[in-house]
Amino acid sequence: MNIGEIKALFLNNSTTKQTIFKNTFWLSFSEVITRLLGLFLFIYVANILGATEYGKFAFALSVVYILNIFYGLTSPQIITKEIAQDKEKVKEMSAIFSLKIILGLASLILVIASLFFVSHDPVVREVIIILAIYNLLNSFMETIWAFFRAKQKMEYEFLMKVSQTIVFVSLGFFVILNYPSIINFSYAYLFSSLAILLVFLAIFHIKVQSLKFSVDKPVWKKILSLSWPLALVSIFSTIYNQTDSVMLGFWGQITETGWYNASYRIIGVVLVPASLIALSFYPSISKSFKDSKEKFQKLWDYFLGIMISLAIPLVSGGMILAPKIINFVYDQSYFPSILSFRILIIMAGIVILCTAFQQMLVIVNQQRRFFWVVLAGTIINIILNSILIPKLSLYGAGIATVITNLIILIYSIILSVKYVPAKVFNIRTLIFLLTAFISSYIMYLIVGCQQIYSLNIVLSILIGGVSYLLISLFLLKFIFRLKFD
């Protein structure tokens, strides 16, 4: 393969398969770099600051995510879908950015007004303000990412994410080594986001589309009309994902918040492959929904099959390796995180499956119905947290999260069966499901052997992953004879 062919493979959009591969590669590459560098930094931060201080930071971040309710009203998914289906919509980017400025300032005001109700700790309050500004800046970068996803040019998103991560990790390590405090660490978040945003806004303005403040009421109305169901889904999803940490912190269980978020941080990393696959498939499935029913069905079959193939072994491997993972990442003071990790890894498997169905509902314009599912789940989550946290602390929070996501998955499946114009389940789905269960069970037995389990955690995970992959390929190719055409 010569340089021209390599360039065409990784930078051009030729066929559907090649484009999905290219986008998956760049998203995977960026997420591997950003997540691993970020994880290394947070491991160091958690161990240096201790569970209590780390718990304060996690509590502040959760509060910010919950209170920044207006950002979703310019949903990146909607922007991606609109531009993917009509390239002329790029001319509306100035109006979208302008709307985002107004909504961002409204969210920032809400955060400041809520400070005295959420915490009496002046340090936590200051951290909340800093992180709220960071989150505002980051929402602008998500809008630029949405444009590149619509163009299926994820290599530019890769460049933005990796640049921001390198700046953030460099600042983060400098701060935590020389001026260790959660306030100073929060400034590392803020300045890294500001620096990269200014650079890429300038590039976007010069190379892609001239940007200016634009009061375009028809565009604002259209974006708000399309986005509000997803915005509410995002708000309530954030609430049921962050309520546990907020309730733990609000009830004075700061150290427990640190333990809980220590395990949650790892869960966030293991969910990366599924989110990458979903992002890579999204533009192609969106386009096929409009162009070809047959292609739409085929892409959905493989999309769901891959998500199933990720979810089941993730839960199986995570359950058996939880003690080794936590002990490898954190010091002995984080021992209580082991059980919360086992609970949350079940949640991770459910979330992967739910992502597939949620994405399909958005593609077929059923986001409004999905909103009611998430709303019901949020109410249930708050009730369950209120009951379980006082009795079981961080483990009650984990159980509430699992139950909530399971309910959302069940209703997402029901909606998909009813409204998605394709066979949601068919023989391919069954084959992927059986293959995943059989392969995961054999992988569990292999990793559970004392000779394998006693190895370094990286080797244990590698052996488990390779064994699962080989067994799965054998079953798919030679027993079920599934063709990957």
Q: What is the DSSP string of 245-302?
A: HHHHHHTT-HHHHHHHHHHHHHHHHHTHHHHHHHHHHHHHHHHHHHH-HHHHHHHHHH
**Tens digit of pLDDT for each residue in 18-63?**
777 777 777 777 777 887 888 888 888 888 988 899 899 989 988 8
SS3 274: helix
Amino acid, single-letter form, for residue 441 = Y
Q: How far is CA 413 from CA 17, 239, 308, 423, in A?
A: 26, 22, 14, 12
User: CA torsion angle for 309, 373, 20, 93 (degrees, to 10)?
Assistant: -160
pLDDT at residue 92, rounded to an integer: 73
Q: How many residues does the chain have?
A: 485
Q: How far is CA 418 from CA 90, 294, 357, 415, 422, in A?
A: 33, 18, 12, 5, 10
Half-sphere exposure of residue 343: CA atoms within 13 angstroms, side-chain side: 22
pLDDT at residue 10, rounded to an integer: 65
Is 395 within 8 Å of 339 (Cβ atoms)? yes
Q: Which of 131, 3, 109 is nearest to 56 (CA)?
A: 131
Helices (H), 179-253: 182-203, 217-250
Q: Which two tokens stand for residue 77?
A: 């998914």
pLDDT at residue 14, rounded to an integer: 66
Distance between terminal CA atoms of the chain?
A: 23
Specify the pTM.
0.74
- Tokens 């089941």: give the residue: 312
Give me the helix-helix angle, 293-329 and 337-363, nearest 10°: 170
**Tens digit of pLDDT for each residue in 362-411?**
888 887 787 788 888 889 999 999 999 999 999 999 999 999 999 999 99
Q: Which two tokens stand for residue 32?
A: 């591997």
pLDDT at residue 476, rounded to an integer: 81
Q: Which residues, in sequence order, are CB contacts of 313 under 8 Å at separation 6+?
A: 436, 439, 440, 443, 464, 465, 468
Is 271 within 8 Å of 351 (Cβ atoms)? yes
Euclidean distance between CA atoms 200 and 141, whole angstroms: 8
Q: Which two tokens stand for residue 418?
A: 């009813």
Amino acid, single-letter form, for residue 384 = L
pLDDT at residue 33, rounded to an integer: 83
- Tokens 């590459």: give the residue: 29
Domain ranges of the chain: 14-425, 426-485
Q: Which two tokens stand for residue 351?
A: 């979330």
Amino acid, single-letter form, for residue 291 = D
Q: Which residues, in sequence order, are CB contacts of 446 under 8 Å at separation 6+?
A: 452, 463, 464, 467
pLDDT at residue 26, rounded to an integer: 75
Q: How far is CA 51 from CA 24, 41, 193, 333, in A?
A: 35, 15, 26, 8
Question: Phi-psi bin for 152: left (phi > 0), alpha (psi -120 to 50), beta?
Answer: left
Amino acid, single-letter form, for residue 388 = L
DSSP conformational letter for 334: G
Counting as low any pLDDT under 50, the low residues of the chain are: 484-485
- Tokens 């369950």: give the residue: 384
pLDDT at residue 97, rounded to an integer: 79
The string over 56-90, giving b where at least 16 C-beta atoms fall within 10 Å of a residue's C-beta and e elsewhere, is: bbbbbbbbbbbbbbbbbbbbbbbbbbbbbeeeebb
Euclidean distance between CA atoms 191 and 105, whole angstroms: 18
- Tokens 């891959």: give the residue: 306
